[in-house]
Structure formats: C-alpha cells, structure tokens
C-alpha cells in the first residue's frame, strides 16, 4: 500500500492533484490506515497513471471520466473510446492550425518591425489594432 505522497511520486503527480481527482470522482476514495492516513493500492496507481497520460495528451477531464468508465467494463466495444479519441484528435488539429496561424502572425509582425522607436514599432501597432493582422487568429475567449 502507498501513502498519498508515495503514490504521487510513483505516478509523477502532485498530492493536491490526487486530492482533486478524488474530489471530482476520477480516483476512488482510498482505504484509510488506523491513523486515518490515505492508503492506495496498485489499481489506484494504474488509474492515476492513466489519468496523467490522458492529461498529457490533452484530454479534458470529462473525456477522461468517460474513458475510465469504459475501461471499468473491458468486455464492451471500444467504439466509444475511438469516438472520444477522434474528438480529441480533431481538437488537437484545430489547436495546431491556430498555433500555426499565431506563429505566422508573430513572424510577420517581427519581420515588419523597423527596429526604430516605439512610436514606429510594428509590434506595438499590430498588438494595438487587430485589423493590422493578416488573418483572424483570435480564440473565442479573446474575441469576446
């Protein structure tokens, strides 16, 4: 059995994150020692490693919750897991496209900078007025 600190070390996850995952139901409530210390077994470590890897791949917590539910029933079809993964791939491709557009805009902005005074600075000018950008690269949050 592992304490919360040892579990975090083994999975590469910080203790507050483990507590948060328990709070939102991604990790099951652990056993407790006689001194009320959390104790985790191999299944908790495996589940936490799964969550960490899914987070590294950018899956949102709701998708991870769904994937964990699917993994809890190993005899069912994996079609639902494929749908979740395809949705994540679409989101990653959209993010890459947006980042590519941002990269191009930043490169254009820097290239056009004459390196004179701030009054003539293309970087400041473009950041001050979005209409100077070559394309609309705003996120929905920035656009609001």
Task: Return the CATH number at 54.
Answer: 1.10.1660.10
Q: Tell me the angle at which helices 61-71 and 79-111 cross, rounded to the nearest 10 degrees.
A: 150
Q: Is residue 95 part of a domain?
A: yes
pLDDT number for residue 33: 87
pLDDT number for residue 133: 75
pLDDT number for residue 68: 94
Q: Is residue 121 part of a domain?
A: yes
Domain containing 36 equals 4-58
Per-residue pLDDT of the chain (144 residues; tens, 9 = 90+): 999 999 999 999 999 999 999 999 999 989 898 888 999 999 999 999 999 999 999 999 999 999 999 998 889 889 999 999 999 999 999 999 999 998 998 888 888 776 777 777 777 877 777 777 777 766 655 544
43, 87: one domain: no
Q: Is residue 28 part of a domain?
A: yes
Task: Please give the tally of structural domains in the chain.
Answer: 2
pLDDT number for residue 140: 56
Rounded Cα distance, 123 and 118, in Å: 9
Rounded Cα distance, 40 and 3, in Å: 6
Question: What's the Rg (C-alpha) of the chain?
Answer: 23
pLDDT number for residue 144: 45
pLDDT number for residue 98: 92
Is-above-0.85 flag for pTM? no
């Amino acid at each position: 059995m592992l304490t919360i600190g040892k579990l975090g070390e083994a999975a590469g996850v910080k203790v507050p994150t483990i507590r948060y995952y328990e709070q939102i139901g991604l990790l099951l409530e652990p056993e407790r020692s006689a001194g009320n210390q959390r104790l985790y077994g191999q299944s908790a470590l495996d589940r936490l490693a799964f969550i960490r890897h899914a987070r590294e791949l950018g899956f949102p917590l709701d998708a991870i919750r769904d994937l964990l539910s699917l993994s809890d029933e190993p005899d069912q079809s994996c079609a639902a897991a494929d749908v979740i993964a395809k949705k994540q791939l679409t989101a990653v491709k959209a993010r890459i496209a947006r980042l590519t557009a941002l990269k191009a805009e930043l490169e254009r902005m820097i290239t056009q900078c004459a390196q004179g005074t701030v009054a003539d600075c293309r970087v400041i000018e473009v950041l001050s007025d979005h209409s100077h950008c070559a394309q609309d690269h705003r996120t929905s949050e920035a656009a609001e």
